[in-house]
Structure 1
Amino acid sequence: MPLRLLVAIALVMTSLAVPAQTAAPAPAGSVTQLEAVTVSGVQPGPGLWQVRRGDHVLWILATLSPLPEKMQWQTAEVEQAIAGSQVVLGAPTVKIDTKVGFFGKLFLLPSLFSARKNPDGAKLADLVSASDYAQWQAMKARYIGRDSGVERWRPLFAALELYSKAIKKSDLDGKASVSDTVRELAKNHDVPLTKVAYHLQVDDPRGAIKAFARSGPNDLDCFHRAVTGLESELPLIRARANAWATGDIDALRTLPPDGAREACLEAITEAGFARQLGLSDLPTRVRDTWLATADKALAEHPQSFAMLPLEALIGPRSALPQLRARGYTVVAPDDVPADDAADSAPPASAGSTAR
């Protein structure tokens, strides 16, 4: 559904709701080294961030999507931290609240799906430049195939479809979530899970859909970046996935951002419908909701565990300055001196390997 999808896009691109790779059972094995190709086999994943005040600690796992398709995540450290915690905070999300009931939402479905299409039956060839469309045709043939329906989609949605298909064909997986593994580990150790959700109230969903159709995103730059830059950015996306898998925090800090993603984010947040829905400052509200939940966990429990998108821990959109401003001590995985690693590590428990 476009409204939910656009909210998800805004969150993903602003480091507030990034899904990551699921981990499922797999046999133990040796950890491979970071290579030019997508890594596979058993991988440690990133270390955990520590947020401390006195003798209370919150362990944070960075999530990322996509991740290597054939990776097997060694979850021992995460399981140790969860087993010793009194609460696990879910990844921050947005819950869309409307005043319409179940049947009202069913009646909205046709409008939601039609909002994905260009107004007045226009095709991509009618909207984008001739050079971009030529690039699109080549990229579509390579990654999407014969799908005539996508030709009537808005450039933003066509770009997202191209991205999704290219990821799938690059030995990467962006569909599942590390959250599933964390929830299962919490359940296994009888640790309660607290959902962290900002409630976005949409009083007039029909009006919001009409606003999207009337003043939707100016997504031509997003489409241009996707068709002209995706293949050059795929190696960077793969390198970022490899760095998460192998726990290379330094590489995660230094890899450049995804240019196409930034262009698509701007297309969404600057649109007229985004202001009507309150998407322009939604990332700040979601961050504040998470910070309030983290404050509560740290105050009430000796040990807690949480998940945050990688970009909420690294880079200009990091939430760590707000945590430090609250008086917490924040330690990144690569900040822990080797001699102190044993003292600062989560309490030991039986670990596992997961996919």
Structure 2
Amino acid sequence: MRLRLLAALCLTLNLSAALAQTEAAPPAEPAAEAAPETILLVGQRPGPGLWKVSKGDHVLWVFGTYSPLPQKMEWRSQQVETILAQTQEYLGPPGASAHVGFFRGLTLLPSLIGLKKNPDGAALKDVLPPEVYARWQPLKAKYLADNDDVEQERPIFAAEALYSAGLKQAGLSQGGEVEKKIAGIAKQRKIKQTATVVDLEIDNASKMVKDFKKSQLADAACLDKTLARLETDIDAMRVRANAWAKGDIEVIQKLKYPDQERECADAMTSGEFARNTPAFQNVKQRVRDAWLAAAEKSLAANTSTFATVRMSYLLGPDSLLAALKTKGYQVDSPE
């Protein structure tokens, strides 16, 4: 059994989402003008088509997941279900997680108390630039009016709480439901499931937690970018969510937004506690290498493999699909 530590760190020693977003995110520019389409699609939606990676008669089908998505959207794709019925292996999404043994994890619970708080009892107003704190206050009042404890938290945790509340109020969720449903179909059909997540082995988790509590994080920029995202991008989030639901990848690629995920991931992985923990070195590259290795292995072994991967891993010149193409595989985009 595992105790996820970065889940305890609110980005919760589960770096999957942050790492996925930093891989091929759009440039951090002000949001493009959102189209007037701000009504979220609900009901049953198929999402985008599948990328086809092949060599000879061996095929890897890749389904691009996305976040955020409409809360009330029910995902269903006949194409995905048909392909899964013929698939020998399902590859889980790339990511990283840290864990310790269950009983060792229980001993950490007392030390996790106060983990989110700023060192030395500081409040947000003490650690943020005045202009950032001034922008924080109206958004806090709008999305976290009943949460006064957040004022004592580190900026990176305050940013996460604010962003989640903002999405909820906008009728959006951070996703995960589509991946869970596909994994459930694979399990129901008794398809071999292969995790591609990199395990971050922590030799001394108790010391890491103590180091984190004392460590300063350069996370004011994380909150700054999160504020900008909520100030400028809510309508565009709805447009991108609708575009994914309709399978319109071109719209997703065109709409740019302030990239708070990159800033927040960098704040966590560049902190002193992370630099002193060998397991946290070169995580991004290790995640990329692990997924590519699993993809090549499955392509060699199976006539049909299915994978779910965050869309940000699949778009752009440095994407996982571009890497497979460089290795000699045929890569065909959805029609």
TM-score bracket relative to the smaller structure: 0.7 to 0.9
Aligned to 1:128: 128
- The answer to whether 1:13 aligns with 2:18 is yes
How far off its partner does 1:170 sit? 0.5
Aligned to 1:236: 236
Q: Residue 35 of structure 1: which of 14, 37, 44 is its match?
A: 37
CA distance in 1, matches of 2:295, 2:309: 11
Offset from partner CA, 1:69-127 (integer Å, 9 cap, x none): 122223211101111111111122324243xx433312212322422111111111221
Task: Give the 5 Å matches for 1:153-232.
Answer: 153-174=153-174, 176-232=176-232
CA contact (8 A) 1:10 1:279 kept: no
Q: Secondary structure at the residue paired with 2:306? A: strand
Offset from partner CA, 1:132-186 (integer Å, 9 cap, x none): 2232221111111221211110011001100000000101112543221112211
Q: Secondary structure at the residue paired with 2:52? A: strand
Task: Give the 5 Å matches for 1:110-121.
Answer: 110-121=110-121
Aligned to 1:270: 270
- TM-aligned CA distance change 1:91 to 1:54, over 3 Å: same
- The answer to whether 1:44 aligns with 2:46 is yes
Aligned to 1:3: 6
Runs of 4+ residues deviating >3 angstroms:
4-10, 277-280
CA contact (8 A) 2:200 2:280 kept: no
Alignment-mate amino acid for residue 11 of structure 2:
L
Q: Secondary structure at the residue paired with 2:96? A: strand
Q: CA RMSD in A?
A: 2.4
CA distance in 1, matches of 2:22, 2:61: 18
- TM-aligned CA distance change 1:2 to 1:217, over 3 Å: farther
Q: Secondary structure at the residue paired with 2:200? A: strand
- The answer to whether 1:323 aligns with 2:328 is no
Aligned to 1:93: 95
How far off its partner does 1:226 sit? 2.1
Q: Secondary structure at the residue paired with 2:260? A: helix
How far off its partner does 1:228 sit? 4.1
- TM-aligned CA distance change 1:236 to 1:323, over 3 Å: same
CA contact (8 A) 2:219 2:264 kept: yes
What is the number of equivalent residue pairs in this alignment?
318
CA distance in 1, matches of 2:104, 2:89: 37
Aligned to 2:311: 310
CA contact (8 A) 1:87 1:193 kept: yes
- TM-aligned CA distance change 1:57 to 1:175, over 3 Å: closer
How far off its partner does 1:229 sit? 4.1
CA contact (8 A) 1:14 1:311 kept: no
Offset from partner CA, 1:6-46 (integer Å, 9 cap, x none): 3656431231799xxxxxxxxxxxxxxx9332222222201
CA distance in 2, matches of 1:54, 1:61: 20
Of 123-132 and 239-248, more deviation after overlay is shown by 123-132
In the alignment, structure 2 segments of 5+ residues that lack a partner are 24-35
How far off its partner does 1:261 sit? 2.1
Aligned to 2:66: 64
Alignment-mate amino acid for residue 193 of structure 2:
L
How far off its partner does 1:317 sit? 4.7
TM-score norm. by structure 1 comes to 0.82
In the alignment, structure 1 segments of 5+ residues that lack a partner are 19-33, 335-355
CA distance in 1, matches of 2:119, 2:127: 11
CA contact (8 A) 2:49 2:63 kept: yes
- The answer to whether 1:292 aligns with 2:293 is yes
Offset from partner CA, 1:270-319 (integer Å, 9 cap, x none): 22222233435212111111111111111111111011111110135511
Aligned to 1:345: none
CA distance in 1, matches of 2:184, 2:309: 17
Q: Secondary structure at the residue paired with 1:15? A: helix
Alignment-mate amino acid for residue 307 of structure 1:
T
